[in-house]
Amino acid sequence: MSAIVSTLGFPRIGPRRELKTALESYWSGKTTARNLLDSAAALRAANWARQHASGVTHIPSNDFSLYDHVLDTSVMVGAIPRDYGWTGGAVSLDTYFAMARGSRGGNGSDHGDYDSHGRGLPALEMTKWFDTNYHYMVPEFTPGQQFSLASTKPVDEFVEAKKLGHATRPVLLGPVTYLLLGKSRAANFDRLSLLPGLLPVYAEVLRRLATAGADWVQIDEPALVLDLDDRTRAAFKTAYAVLAQEAPRIRLLLTTYFGALGDNLETAIRLPVAGLHLDLVRAPEQIEAAIAQVSVNSVLSLGLIDGRNVWRADLSAQLDRIERVTKRRGIDMLILAPSCSLLHVPVDLDQETEIDPDLKSWLAFAVQKVDELTILGRALNAGRAAVASELAAAGKAAAARKESTKIHDAAVQRRLAAVTPEMARRRKPFEERRRTQKASLPLPVFPTTTIGSFPQTDAVRRARAAHAKGTLSDAEYTAFLEKETETVIRWQEEIGLDVLVHGEFERNDMVQYFGEQLSGYAFTKHGWVQSYGSRYVRPPVIFGDVSRPKPMTVEWSSFAQSLTKRPMKGMLTGPVTMLQWSFVRDDQPRAQTCRQIALALRDEVVDLERAGIGIIQIDEPAIREGLPLRKADWKAYLDWAVECFRLAASGVADKTQIHTHMCYSEFNDIIDSIGAMDADVISIETARSKMELLDAFSTYRYPNEIGPGVYDIHAPRQPAVEEMTDLLAKARARLTADQLWVNPDCGLKTRKWEEVRPALVNMVEAAKRVRNAAAR
């Protein structure tokens, strides 16, 4: 027998972001649905061919998605909320994208559905996929929810691959995890009560896959690494007993990732599945218990190559680990795999021709990680001598990285050692600061603002590209940015916003812009990963100790403030988000790297204050996503995460108002830590949840000020004044009037001006109406 090499999923986006181009061309009406589907098919074919050529023996199918794999599962099982008008049969692309993005209604050209009054529809709620920076569309369930097979996508793509000569292993999101990822607006609704109605759809898909010739099916149940109660564990037993009985010809690979099975291991090993995948990057210790307890008749899939980070593996060390397992189980009952889907890493390192050669030698993207797996497979099958040069190269890179002077900065280490607890505390408590701030910042009740960025138009992108190529001089580029900044400030004044922002036209990305100005960071040209839909990000790589050589934002914030008498916010990305949205060095604790970033940002905050900026926003949208998946590990993380925010924010005087922003989060279980951050104002995403996310702040009796989002910026629609006033009324029912700010859910960088202008005009009008009503 030969070692099986598999991947659990490959990046969907294409080496040159081909999926983004196809989607946005379709959404804008420039191309047809047929064009979009043809582009998608070409990407799938290329991914299968690439993995086949590399030597992967278990190639996944149905890992591709036009938007999101959880949304695809909702469509597969017919979980389409009533608002979208689906009455059975095939789900149209318009309905699919309306669920993903919302729709504009009758006044726009965007594809999409409408409600019974001809208005645009909001998108499904979106939140983080476990503790990653990928976002999924949250399924919506109702009591008595009926499921039916509404899409045969898993079967269709298996057949599609088969016709191209690839025998693939279809991927399904498991039924229990799918239900646990969903929500219902009904109070105290038990999502697992829907399991009996859901399982027949899964069983039908498995039967159809068997008929089409599938042997193995990968069924992802990452919920098994969470804290589960006995009832949830029983749901897994029920689900897989049914699926094994209904589709006996299919061999199921139960796939877990992002952590250890821990106390759920016994549940997993007792399920009637043919194989079990373990994440041995996040939880290497679980291999011993698995070897001891998993039946010798079951296949073990070893998640050895990191699917969430970009560091090259020491293949000899990995081979040592594998060989210890093979001595006890044999090669024929093992699969070599990444820890999770490669969705979370960029596509191909070979595209990076300008990165530092030493750093490049330490990295591996999806294509290179597949190569690493096949090298390990060849070593097992033919012996180490067959891949001696590859093993030697990997070992040499690991040793060079460990010893490199590019990584360690003695000055940063000395400063970190000198940090005291007092440095992470404001001088006065919030109520005293609040009185001082109200005197220095005379704002109306329900003050209006935005989260930071304004639309990055084609003109802005062209100017940035021309400047990068050298065809636009520094002086010309600066003049262009100054004009854009002044234009957006004048427009904000015109519509009556109370606290202004400068628009961030000089910034490419909220993490990259800062990372490019910090030591210890490096950047790629093509290292894109999917955040959601066609929104891709290019995370920086934190390879060494972090410090700030010079001020990063003071010049532009000072220029913007000089143009207006209204308060201008200084805009920074917080230390936890700078960490979470980067590929982080794995040679020291994450907390230590985060503290280094916090000290660099502390210097920037102090310099902004000295420059006359009285409101400074330190965005932390990623603080919730960093939570460990097991609650037992939360306190340690939250302690250092909150400390890092406060370390960045606490160097200023009481009159300086510190804001923070969070999005895509459920706040109930971390509300104590949000309170401990002690930001003067927090703005949060609440529009899609209809202000439900404020319940945590209300129950907690959050004392500081809050800006609940009233405008969902992730959809191309413009909410009416009445919709926003309704949302503010719901917010007012939960919080006091003097606590509330009025703002969009998030920054406006990805939206178009024709969407933003009417939406913000409506938002300002909504604030005026609520303000007037409060005065009566």
Using alpha carbons only, what angle is made at residue 339 by residues 388 and 621, rounded to the nearest 5 degrees?
Answer: 130
How far apart CA 355 and CA 523 sit, in angstroms, is 7
- The two structure tokens encoding residue 301: 């899939």
Find out whether 727 and 455 touch, Cβ atoms under 8 Å.
no
**What is the rounded distance in angstroms from the CA atom of residue 420 to the CA atom of residue 728?**
41
Instruction: Tell me if residue 344 is catalytic.
Output: no
Q: Could you give the CA distance from residue 682 to residue 703 in angstroms, rounded to a whole number?
A: 11
**Number of Cβ atoms within 10 Å of the Cβ of 285:** 9
| Torsion sign across C-alpha atoms 532, 534, 535, 538 | positive
Residue 379: CB atoms within 10 Å: 24
Among 690, 671, 684, smallest CA distance to 730 is for: 690
Look at residues 551, 471, 615 and name the one whose alpha carbon lies nearest to residue 480.
Answer: 471
SS3 labels along 313-381: CCHHHHHHHHHHHHHHHCHHHEEEEECCCHHHCCCCHHHCCCCCHHHHHCECCHHHHHHHHHHHHHHHH
Q: Measured in Å, how far apart are the chain's first and last C-alpha atoms?
A: 81
DSSP states of 611-623 as a string? TT--EEEEE-TTT
Q: Determine the Cα–Cα distance for residues 588 and 520; give it in Å rounded to an integer.
A: 13
Given the residues 58, 111, 277, 714, the one annotated as active site: 714
**615: number of Cβ within 10 Å:** 23
> Of 98, 92, 105, 109, which Cα lies nearest the Cα of 37?
92
**Would you mind telling me the total number of residues written for the chain in this entry?**
776
CB 686 within 8 A of CB 708: yes
Positions of E strands within 565-613:
569-573, 583-584
Q: What is the C-alpha to C-alpha distance for residues 408 and 218, in angstroms, rounded to an integer?
A: 42
Residue 56 CB-half CA count within 13 A: 31
3-state per-residue secondary structure call for 18-38? HHHHHHHHHHCCCCCHHHHHH
Strand partners, 500: 568
Side-chain half-sphere of 767: how many Cα atoms within 13 Å?
Answer: 28
| CA separation for the pair 561, 500 (Å, rounded) | 9
Neighbours of 189 (CB within 10 A): 15
> Catalytic residue numbers?
714
